[in-house]
């Protein structure tokens, strides 16, 4: 009996040790695998966050730029119309002939709107018929004040009648009043355009109306120049301009506005949003145009999530589980055949080493990608100069602490005309060439940045006085004048206006930029392609001074 018990103890003790070792291996391996998987998913989430921040910033800036471009175009055409002493329908057609839907995505028509009272409707209709609008038939709405479309040029190819009283549309009427009261550009609330209301409901889309006042010589109010814009077409165009987001269908976007107490969708574009993802990837930003504020919501799609994940976390988990199973088998075999198990331990160790190398390669690629994303966040993709974020970081470090600095705010003269006549490819060539001039003109410690559009900034350090800053600005202008851009058979001169502001004790980045901006508009006002240094006697000039 005693011998039997001793034999059982001998057999049970090794089995207990073997299973204890196996359990320990399993627990340790599962813990390491879980920790690695969690870390991998955290890296993927950070990559997705960087992409969403970048796409949101790019799309918000693209929408603001597009709307401002539309407003600048309307202002230029309004000035040309106001300069005509006796405007006719033929004059209006000639002035607006270069405007097209290709250059203005979403645009429907350019309309000259004239106000009238009830008693003046007949005389107004007769006046414009005599000036070429032979089919004009004014259709006054209820009320004593009216705003009639007397001349119209279709941009999207659809025939749109004249004579409509825009005061019958509350959204359009409010935009007209804002434009006249402010004396400048205004945007209406979103609504369905009158002609679009004849379409099937599924084809209707919310739009908005842009308006600028038209003045005769002597600053006498003549009426308004307005343009309807389809919101979905504008948002789709702005999203397509962001090459990476459009190529991969990485984001879904919605443009919203508050109409009273109701939030309505002005436009939605791109692919369907992902169903299963962390809601921390959603992005919300606000776009302010005049008195109108829109909310831009951005959502990730399955394409973006696939791009950031690339299956790395799942692969790492499966490989680690395989290694766990192998190690468990090895520990079990050690109890019966040590020599044979040692060979398998060597094989498992080699597999583990390969797995570590693969993980290190994955981590290296993720770090490289993170550095690339950081560079893209701080750099303008077209010119290679610092963007607004990169400039802001440098301004925060210097302004208020170092007074031996100067900020040069540069705006290219006639750039919009180049875009309108030669197209955006010519505009991009001029922007890239001017960026090269700036890089050659600044020192190693200085910063050259592009704020957007045709606006640049140079932040110089170790500036002893204003004269040194002015000398830098004049050197830039001289280099620009000596470096025209060839476009086919034409030679396009590069001209710019520069405003200079130097640092002060207790200064802020916003104040320094404001002073330079004021000086730049003074330079444009005094004749363009010149330099002006800010002084306290200057007052802020509006953008229309250009």
SS (H, E, C) 285-353: EEEEECCEEEEEEEEECHHHHHHHHCCHHHHHHHHHHHHHHHHHHHHHHHCCCHHHHHHHHHHHHHHHH
Q: Which residues have CB under 8 Å from 483's CB, separation 6+?
A: 433, 437, 494
Catalytic residue among 233, 411, 454, 507: 454
The DSSP symbol for 164 reads: B
Alpha carbon of 239 to those of 148, 270, 274: distances in Å? 35, 8, 18
Backbone angles phi, psi at 140, to 5 degrees: -65, 140
* CA–CA gap between residue 444 and residue 449 (Å, rounded): 14
Structural element, H or E, at residue 23:
helix 2-82
Residue with tokens 């509350």: 170
Compute the distance between CA of residue 116 and CA of residue 112 in angstroms, rounded to an integer.
Answer: 13
Q: Is 411 a catalytic residue?
A: no
Q: Three-state SS for 41? A: helix
DSSP bridge partners of 254? 268, 297
Measure Cα distances from 307 to 313, 377, 486 in Å: 13, 18, 40
Beta-strand ranges (E) seen in 58-136 are 107-117
Cα 97 off chain centre by: 29
520 by Cβ neighbours in 10 Å (0-12 / 13-18 / 19+) ranks as buried
Q: What is d(CA 79, CA 217) in angstroms, rounded to the nearest whole number?
A: 10
CA 417 – CA 423 distance, rounded (Å): 9
3-state class percentages of the chain: helix first, strand second, coil last, to nearest 5: 55, 20, 25
Contact 428, 412 (CB under 8 A): no
How many whole angstroms separate alpha carbon 493 and alpha carbon 482?
8
CB–CB of 174/189 below 8 Å? yes
The 3-class secondary structure across 407-462, one letter per residue, is EEEEEECCHHHHHHHHCHHHHHHHHHHHHHHHHHHCCCCCEEEEEECCEEEEEEEC
- Give, for 356, the enclosing helix (H) or strand (E): helix 338-378
d(CA 354, CA 368): 21
Long-range contacts for 195-200 (Cβ within 8 Å, ≥24 apart)?
A: 195/108, 195/158, 195/160
* Residues labelled catalytic: 454
């Amino acid at each position: 009996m005693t011998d039997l018990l001793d034999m059982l103890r001998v057999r049970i003790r090794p089995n207990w040790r073997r299973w204890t070792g196996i359990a320990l291996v399993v627990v340790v391996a599962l813990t390491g695998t879980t920790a690695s998987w969690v870390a991998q998913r955290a890296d993927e989430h950070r990559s997705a966050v960087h992409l969403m921040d970048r796409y949101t910033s790019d799309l918000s800036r693209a929408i603001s730029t597009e709307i401002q471009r539309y407003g600048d175009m309307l202002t230029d055409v309004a000035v040309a119309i106001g300069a005509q002493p006796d405007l006719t329908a033929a004059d209006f057609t000639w002035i607006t002939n270069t405007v097209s839907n290709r250059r203005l995505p979403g645009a429907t028509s350019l309309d000259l709107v004239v106000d009238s009272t009830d008693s003046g409707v007949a005389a107004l209709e007769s006046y414009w018929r005599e000036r070429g609008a032979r089919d004009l038939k004014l259709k006054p709405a209820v009320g004593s004040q009216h705003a009639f479309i007397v001349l119209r040029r279709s941009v999207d190819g659809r025939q749109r009648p004249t004579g409509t009283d825009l005061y019958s549309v509350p959204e359009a009427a409010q935009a007209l009043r804002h434009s006249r009261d402010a004396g400048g550009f205004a945007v209406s609330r979103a609504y369905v355009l009158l002609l679009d209301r004849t379409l099937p409901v599924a084809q209707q889309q919310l739009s908005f109306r842009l308006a600028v006042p038209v003045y005769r010589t002597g600053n006498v109010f003549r009426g308004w120049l307005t343009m309807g814009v389809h919101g979905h077409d504008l948002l789709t165009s702005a999203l397509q301009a962001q090459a990476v987001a459009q190529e991969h269908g990485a984001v879904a976007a919605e443009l919203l506005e508050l109409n009273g107490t109701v939030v309505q969708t002005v436009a939605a574009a791109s692919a369907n949003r992902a169903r299963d993802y962390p809601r921390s990837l959603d992005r919300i930003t606000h776009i302010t145009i005049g008195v109108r504020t829109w909310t831009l919501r951005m959502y990730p799609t399955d394409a973006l999530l696939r791009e950031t994940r690339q299956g790395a976390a799942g692969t790492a988990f499966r490989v680690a589980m395989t290694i766990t199973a192998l190690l468990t088998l090895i520990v079990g075999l050690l109890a019966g055949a040590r020599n044979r198990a040692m060979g398998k331990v060597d094989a498992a160790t080699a597999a583990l080493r390969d797995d570590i190398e693969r993980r290190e390669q994955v981590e290296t690629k993720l770090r490289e990608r993170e550095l690339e994303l950081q560079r893209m966040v701080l750099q303008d993709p077209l010119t290679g100069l610092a963007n607004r974020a990169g400039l802001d970081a440098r301004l925060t470090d210097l302004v208020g602490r170092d007074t031996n600095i100067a900020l040069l705010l540069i705006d290219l003269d006639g750039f919009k005309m180049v875009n309108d006549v030669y197209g955006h490819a010519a505009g991009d060539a001029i922007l890239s060439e001017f960026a090269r001039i700036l890089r050659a003109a600044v020192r190693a410690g200085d910063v050259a940045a592009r704020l957007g559009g045709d606006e640049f900034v140079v932040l110089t350090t170790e500036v002893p006085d204003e004269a040194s800053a002015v000398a830098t600005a004049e050197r830039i202008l001289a280099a620009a004048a000596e470096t025209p851009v060839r476009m086919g058979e034409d030679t396009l001169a590069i001209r710019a206006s520069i405003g200079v502001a130097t640092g002060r004790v207790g200064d802020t980045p916003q104040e320094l930029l404001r002073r330079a901006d004021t000086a730049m508009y003074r330079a444009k006002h005094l004749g363009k392609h010149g330099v002006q240094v800010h002084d306290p006697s200057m007052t802020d000039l509006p953008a229309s001074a250009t």
